[in-house]
Each structure stands twice: as C-alpha cells, then as structure tokens.
Amino acid sequence: MASGRRGSIPILFEEGGKVLLARGREVLSRTLVPRFRDGPFRIILRGHAGPEEAGGTEVQDDLGYARAKEVRDFFIEKGLSPESFELQTVGSRSPPPGLAPDSVEARKTWRRVEIFVSPQATGLPVERNR
C-alpha cells in the first residue's frame, strides 16, 4: 500500500491463481477495509504475475489484471464503493524490489497486488488493462 509512503502488506496468490488467499483476505479486512471507509479515496490496485506463471506477456498481464480485480471485488463485498477503484496490471514487468529474481521468495512475491491510495474524491471506475 502506498499513500505518500510505502508500506508492505502481503496480499498474495497461489502460483498461477487469481483467487485471493485466506491470509490476504484476513489482512485486508483487519487493516485496510476500516481505513478505506473513512473518506473519499482513489484506490489504485496494480496486479502482478511472475514470468514463470504464464506464457507470454499478454497472459501475464491478464493474470495480473485478474488479481487486481479480485482484490477490488473483495473490497466491494465489504461495502466500499466501486467508484473508488482504478485497476492496473503490469504483469511480470515489475519485479519484487530487493530480491534476487530467481529466489523462492521472489517467486512468491511476484504474485501480488500493490495498493496505492490517493486522498481525493472518487470518480468513475477506471479499468486499465495495460
């Protein structure tokens, strides 16, 4: 999550999967859902996929996008407004910072959604596939 500063919350997925893991659902429910209810925020969800998860850039982009959508749908189920969200994907073009690309930890961390928060009024939902 980022809002002027970066934080790290493990919102991870199974390899090749787009279903949010139970641990991720728990963390989001406990830490972010209560905060996001407090005001008009623009919430950018940026999905990632590992290069070994899917063949080709387009498929990796689709998987990253599906993960961002999964997190957005989770927030909507918890009562947040769909108009608060912008979805993005970077597929495998943005490796996890500070990790050797071929390490086990990096392969887990590729499977993530980054959350960026801007304290501005919401608008129409924005979905960017690329």
CA distance 87 to 23: 22
Least confident of 50-59, 84-93, 97-106, 121-130: 121-130
Summarised one tens digit per residue, pLDDT across range 54-65 is 889 999 999 999
Q: Domains in the chain and their CATH numbers?
A: 22-127 (3.30.1330.60)
What number is the average pLDDT over the span 89-100?
88
pTM comes to 0.83
Q: Which of 5-14, 16-25, 73-82, 112-121 has the lowest mean pLDDT?
A: 5-14
pLDDT of residue 105: 84
Q: How many percent of the chain have pLDDT more than 90? A: 44
